[in-house]
Amino acid sequence: MRLIAFRLLFGLSLVSGGLLLSACFPGGLIDKGGRVHGAGITPSATIMYNTPFKYVCYDPVEAERREELSEEERRNLGPPVRYIMPGEPVRDCYTDGESSVFFLFNLWPATDPIDPGYAIATAVQQLEGDTMINILFWHETHYYSILGRAFVYRIRGRVIRFLRDEELRAYNQQRAEQQRGRR
């Protein structure tokens, strides 16, 4: 009788412990997201001093065209982007970046600390731009039961590239012509 009671108690403990431990796992392993806090907006990642620039946007049409190219032809190409001048309409031109830290058993950090500069740098490097403007940022917390939790710093903004010498000359010439036309 004692053996049956022990097996029953052990079986119930095993099942309830398994259910308790697995309750938080699917949300962390399957779904992105978590508890969001600390949201904000900042106008730019660097000081710009009214420097002329152009937007750098990911171009899905160009990316699809490049899939048909051979590996050797794709090797020396940069990322598939399109450039938009500030006067033109800009839609769907946002880039995302993130930085995170994972705490093992909710106590010890197992990865590098959160670095907002890294999050911005990865987003800018994806499109080979110079900096980022109109930046939205927020913190997320992902829970993984007793295994630990991850704190994620996410950003979303527009990548820009400053105009180079020849582009700057053409831009200044165009602005001068527009001003002469207004007079």
Q: What is the pLDDT of residue 28?
A: 45
Give yes or no: residues 100 and 37 share one domain: yes
- My answer on whether 25 and 64 are in the same domain is no
Residues 6+ apart with CB under 8 A from 160: 53, 54, 55, 56, 129, 130, 131, 132, 133
Domain that holds residue 24: 1-29
- pLDDT of 78 reads 83
How many Cβ atoms from other residues are within 10 Å of residue 78's Cβ? 7
| Closest residue by Cα to residue 81 from 125, 137, 136 | 125
Average pLDDT, stretch 117-130?
94
Q: How far is the C-alpha of 14 from the C-alpha of 8, rounded, in Å?
A: 10
Query: What letter does residue 38 receive in the DSSP assignment?
Result: E
Beta strands in 20-86 (DSSP E): 35-44, 53-58, 81-84
Terminal CA-to-CA distance of the chain, rounded, Å? 103
Q: What tens digit of pLDDT does each residue of 28-74 get?
A: 444 555 678 888 998 888 888 888 899 999 999 888 988 888 888 88
Its pTM stands at 0.72
Q: Do 22 and 37 fall into the same domain?
A: no
- Same-domain pairing of 69 and 25: no
Q: Does residue 130 sit in the same domain as residue 164?
A: yes
State whether 5 and 47 are in the same domain: no
* Domain tally, the chain: 2
pLDDT at 171 over 70: yes
Mark whether 65 and 78 lie in a shared domain: yes
Q: Could you tell me if 5 and 55 lie in one domain? A: no
Task: Identify the bridge partners of residue 133 per DSSP, sorted by sequence position.
Answer: 44, 158
Strands 81-84 and 53-58: antiparallel
- Report whether 79 contacts 106 (CB < 8 A): no
User: Over pLDDT 90: what percentage of the chain?
Assistant: 38
Q: Does residue 171 share a domain with residue 136?
A: yes
For residue 18, is pLDDT > 70?
A: no
pLDDT at 32: 55
